Structure 1
Amino acid sequence: MTNLKNYLSLIERTGIIISITLFVFIFINCKEASIEPIFYGSLQGKVVDAETNEPLYGASISTNPASSSVTTDYEGKYKIESIPVGNYTIICKKFGYEKEQISVSVLEEYETVAMLFLHKSEAVINPPSMPQNSEPVNGSTQNEVKIILKWTSGVNNQNDSVYYDVFLYDALSTDCRKVGTSLRDTTLEVTDLKYNHVYFWYVEAFDNYSNKTRSEIWNFKTKVPPLNPILFSLMIDNQYDIYSIDENGNDKVEVIALSGNELWPRYNNEKRFIAYCSNYGWSAEIFIKDLKTDLTTKVTNLPVSGYHNNGFGFCWTNDGGGLVYPYYDKLYKVDINGFNRKMLIQAPADRNFRESDYSPIEDKIVVLTVGINQYDSEIYLYDQSVDTLKLLVDNLPGIIERPSFTIDGKNILFTRDISGYESLDGRQLNSHIFVMNLTSMEIKDISVNKIDGTNDLNPRISSDGAYIIFNNVVNNNNKQPDLVIMDLMGRQRRVITSGGIMADWK
């Protein structure tokens, strides 16, 4: 029994010794295998063209030893965050450039900055050939204001893709606009050109390596504008300019565009001259544009002015040699050269002349007079042969406006707001167009087909006497007016354009 106890005691002591030995061995080995800490910094910089110093977008940045791969932004900048400290080789590549690499050291918690300069590859220094063989032929005159531009250009020696930017500018302007961008085709249509203008244009050809070649500067001239029968004023960029169109609203032409408001355009009988009012100076004066010479002259020294008149209401004499216009309570006549101004007649007491129209066949003028309030309006017939005013339309409820003769001089057109609404701001609710027979004095309403909630305004007879051109607009003025045509019975109403006002038809 004693021997057994001694044996067990020996085994127990031996196990303890072995356990202690294993613990010491494991402890020593674990201490020898401890993990060293890793420290980080960052790497950033910029990539530029070595010749131009321009930043390069889209260059790829990598490192050796490997870390992160990034590309440069539009400023040519790059950044690699949290890169382990150590020595690296930065490798930079961009299509069309030689590969560049530099050595840097990244330090703990430090931003290492490295700038790289790339040189263009010798294989891509040849630019595209110069664009040439222009169409239209240089210096030619074109028959349209919508033109197809064409050119030819070969590729560079590497058969790389070639792109084209096209630039166009008006001879009367210093603004050059890009009308085509990164085109692959050598054809481009340009529209909305002005009539009777010289245009210059050129083409820049470039490849994927940003090599550029520019053509010579070519020019062409657009055709003389058509002599459209309809004139009107149209607001463009917060000011009124004068345009023309045909009977169907086509062939729109900018006729007069100056720095003021151009209103009330009127052809003379032969359609050689256009008279209009402009506030180009301090006040609304009458100007005449000669369509043959393209010259413009100022006719009046006393402005077109009076109660509720900001530049309209004048008319041509029926022989085309002069103009009649209102100036407060006086009606004046002046030659088209601005000479021989003569007062024709004075308005009734406390009234101003506002509008006038000359009879096509007699020395008679229909005039509108107004009082201090715009709705205080009356229409008279002035007979120059006897120097008298005859009242045609009395001061009825609602605003009365725009008296004008028909072709035969036997009738007049005018408008009246039949709602009878009278507001100091001149708003109308239900304006109709009327025809008055000057012999029987019968008055006929021809706006019976008008849409409710709108006004018919500014009526003028057509050149053949068969139609009336006028404005139709919603009575809250929240929409631009339509320019409308209808027959003398008020039928066949059709819109020919929008936005135009104060139309004339010769």
Structure 2
Amino acid sequence: MRHFRLFISFCAGLLGLWSCTEDTFVEPTRLATVRGQVLVSTTRQPVRGALVRISPGGRITETDSTGNFRFDSVLAGRYTVSATKEPFRTEVATVEADVQLVSQITLLLVEDRTQNKAPTPPASVTPTSGTANVPTTLTLKWRATDPNRDTLRYDVRLFREGSTSPTQSFTGLLADSLVVANLAYNTTYIWQVTVRDGVNTVNSPLFSFRTRPFPDLPYLFARRVGGQYQIFASGPSPSEVQQLTQSGSNWRPIGSPDRRQIAFISNVDTETFLYVMNADGSNSRRVTSVPIGGQSATDLSFCWSPDGTQLVFPSYDKLYTVRTDGTGLRQLATAPAGRFFAGCDWSGQGNRLVARTTAGFYDHDIVIVPVAGGALTPVFSRRSSRVGNPVFSPDGRQLLLSVDLGTLQNEQGRQLDARLFVLDLVSGTLTDLSSVRTENQSQTSKPAGTNDLDPQFSPNGARIIFTNTDNTHTGPRTIQVMDVDGRNRQQAVQQGEMPFWR
């Protein structure tokens, strides 16, 4: 009996143990995944490096280069997801984590301008502020950084010292460098860079530099620009060309004896007057109150006195002298009846003036004009061909001029075969420089069908500069140089006329 009761107790214990195990069984936990993307609200561009937090739980991750993020092993339920990234406002959204599918959410960030940090003020890199002897074409370089890595745009303004209006300005540049050209010589420039990041605008300090002095360019000439003559200076190299005038039409440049000034003819004041400017084109001012005039405006010429204090110029039948400051206007001579003065030159050797008078395109006299007044003395005449304005040789013994050997005459004054000649004032000998003699034969060095015009001696008298052009008057005009005996002709300037050799 006792053994039976023990057996019953044992079975009851097993039954109780089995019942207890069944009541405490827990079903396995099922987990979900939450993933999403962070984009810029306005552009829908992905935001890289945004901090994404999911709550409850407080787990944090960072978006990748495509703006994506992912939270795995999340308990099913409702969560709050937030994304933070400067300079945007924090964006918050809710998501339902479901074990049956991957929960997807998109967070759109709106820029918070109050968080945007300004870029650093641009600093000058090249040239260093205060640099002198800078070329007239140069690259400006600067440096600026942005804490938010925003795209930076630059505005650059360039001023001449003392001016409040920029000579050049540029806006919306993405590069931190800029090439500026056509700067004036021997001039101080002030420049400033403004940087913008789309929110902030920051100005640089004022930087400065000074351009190099004006180069010593020996050739002066006129060139057609936009239908008007402008004056240029040039050196032997084609790259050494500087435009000296801008407004109106300006022609016939002639340098002063000391090479510091240039006189020229201009119609900038409607009528045609003489002007003087510095060798670099600055400080242009009118000298004459009486117009310079004659039969053809572009055929007119004038001269400096040997000491550089006066200018002599024609005004129809009168020849005048005036000081370079515009005072002391005085009549030197009157042309014979029916004739106009057209050009002149003044030699310091013997203090003599030579002038050309004309009674039409094909009627010319070359005369000596007494500086102190008196009768005109003819030294050369042509009654049926064109003759150019004469210039003295440096020693005062010869005259250099052009003479047309063609026989055509028309109302336009066309020349067919204008050549350069040297007239010996003692012997009266006329020597053709547009032809050179080789092996006892005369060979024309001037190209056929062209004219040699407007000759001038070089300062040392060893060479001659002049214009060569097609005799149809429609072709290009080039400036050429040659030895004083007519040899070694070569081009000096591709496009130009009315040259002067300083």
**TM value normalised by structure 1:** 0.68
272 and 98 in structure 1: CA distance in 2 versus 1, 3 angstrom threshold: same
Match for residue 438 of structure 1?
A: 425
Q: Please report how far the alpha carbon of residue 349 of structure 1 lies from its aligned counterpart in structure 2 after TM superposition.
A: 2.1
| 1:143 aligned partner | 134
Structure 2 CA distance for partners of 1:178 and 1:290, relative to 1, 3 Å: closer
Q: What is the letter of the counterpart of residue 143 of structure 1?
A: V
Whole-Å Cα distance in 1 between the matches of residues 136 and 188 of structure 2? 11
- The more displaced of 194-203 and 448-457 is 194-203
Q: 2: distance between equivalents of 1:169 and 1:237?
A: 27
Structure 1 residue corresponding to 2:384, chosen from 390, 394, 397: 397
**Match in the other structure for 2:266:** 278
- Residue equivalent to 2:170: 178
8 Å Cα contact 2:155-2:172 kept in structure 1:
yes
Which residue of 426, 446, 451 maps to 2:447?
451
Q: Note the 1:99-498 alignment, pairs <5 A.
A: 119-120=110-111, 125-126=116-117, 128-158=119-149, 166-170=156-160, 174=166, 176-178=168-170, 181-183=173-175, 186-205=176-195, 213-249=202-238, 251-257=240-246, 259-290=247-278, 295-309=283-297, 312-371=300-359, 373-384=360-371, 387-448=374-435, 449-498=445-494
Matched letter for residue 477 of structure 2: P
Cα deviation, 1:366-388, whole Å, max 9, x if unaligned, reads 211111x3222232223446833
1:4-19 correspondence to structure 2 within 5 Å: none
Contact 1:360–1:405 (Cα < 8 Å) also in 2: no
**Which structure 2 segments of 5+ residues have no match?**
1-39, 46-86, 92-107, 436-444
- Residues 331 and 133 (structure 1 numbering): CA distance in 2 closer, same or farther, change over 3 Å? closer
Shift of 1:350: 0.9
Amino acid at match of 1:203: V
- Letter of the 1:278 counterpart: S
2:244·2:280 contact (CA, 8 Å) conserved in 1?
Answer: no
Match of 1:142, SS state, is strand
1:501 aligns with 2:488: no
Larger radius of gyration: 2
Q: Helix, strand or coil: the match of 2:427?
A: coil
Match of 2:53 in 1: none
User: In 2, Cα distance between the equivalents of 1:483 and 1:247?
Assistant: 11
Q: Which amino acid aligns with 1:236?
A: V
Structure 2 residue identity aligned to 1:378? D
SS at match of 1:266: strand
Distance 1:124 1:255, change over 3 A: same
Q: CA deviation at 1:436?
A: 1.1
The separation in 1 between residues aligned to 2:278 and 2:201, in whole angstroms, is 46
Overall identity of the aligned pairs, in %: 30
1:170 Cα deviation after fit: 4.7
Q: Give the Cα–Cα distance (whole angstroms) in 2 for the partners of residues 138 and 229 of structure 1.
A: 33
Alpha-carbon distance between aligned partners in 2 of 1:206 and 1:293, rounded to the nearest angstrom: 38
CA-atom RMSD in angstroms:
3.5
Deviations 1:48-105 (A, max 9, x none): x99xxxxx8x879xxxxxxxxxxxxxxxxxxxxxxxxxxxxxxxxxxx99999xxxxx
For residues 301-350 of structure 1, what are the alpha-carbon distances to aligned partners after superposition, in whole Å with 9 as ceiling and x for unaligned?
21111222358311112232222111111212223333333222221221
- Provide, for residues 431-468 of structure 1, a one-character-per-residue CA deviation record: whole Å limited to 9, x for no partner: 21111111111111112311222221111111111111
Indicate if the aligned counterparts of 2:294 and 2:300 stay in contact, CA closer than 8 A. no
How far has the Cα of 1:499 moved from its partner? 3.0
Q: In 2, are the aligned partners of 1:277 and 1:311 still within 8 Å (CA)?
A: no
Q: Does the Cα contact within 8 Å between 1:432 and 1:445 map onto a contact in 2? A: yes
In structure 2, relative to structure 1, the CA distance for the partners of 1:284 and 1:485 (3 Å cut) is same
> What is the SS of the residue equivalent to 1:402?
coil
1:130 deviation in Å? 3.1
- Report the 3-state secondary structure (helix = DSSP H, G, I; strand = E; otherwise coil) of the residue aligned with 1:195: coil
- In structure 2, the CA distance between the partners of 1:301 and 1:155, relative to structure 1 (3 Å rule), is same
Which amino acid is 2:491 matched to? V
Give the deviation of 1:296 after TM superposition.
4.4
In structure 2, the CA distance between the partners of 1:447 and 1:166, relative to structure 1 (3 Å rule), is same
Structure 1 residues 490 and 282: CA distance shift in structure 2, 3 A: same
Q: Secondary structure at the match of 2:271?
A: coil
Q: Secondary structure at the match of 1:240?
A: strand
Deviation at 1:391, TM superposition (A): 2.5
Offset from partner CA, 1:220-270 (integer Å, 9 cap, x none): 22123124332222333433332222344553334344x322222222211
Q: Which amino acid aligns with 2:327?
A: F
Q: Number of residue pairs matched?
A: 395
Say if 1:298 and 1:206 are closer, same or farther in 2 by CA, change over 3 A.
Answer: closer
Which amino acid in 1 is paired with 2:218? P
Give the Cα–Cα distance (whole angstroms) in 2 for the partners of residues 360 and 118 of structure 1: 85
Output the amino acid matched with 1:198: T
User: Cα distance 1:124–1:456, how it changes in 2: closer, same or farther (>3 A)?
Assistant: farther
Shift of 1:121: 6.7
Alpha-carbon offset, residue 141 of structure 1: 2.8
Residues 200 and 340 of structure 1: CA distance in aligned 2, closer, same or farther (over 3 Å): closer
> Which residue identity does 2:192 align to in structure 1?
Y
* 2:305–2:311 contact (8 Å) kept in structure 1: yes
1:176 partner amino acid: Q
Shift of 1:294: 5.5
Evaluate the alpha carbon distance shift between residue 299 and residue 192 of structure 1 in structure 2; reply closer, same or farther with a 3 A threshold: closer
The residue that corresponds to 1:26 in the other structure is none
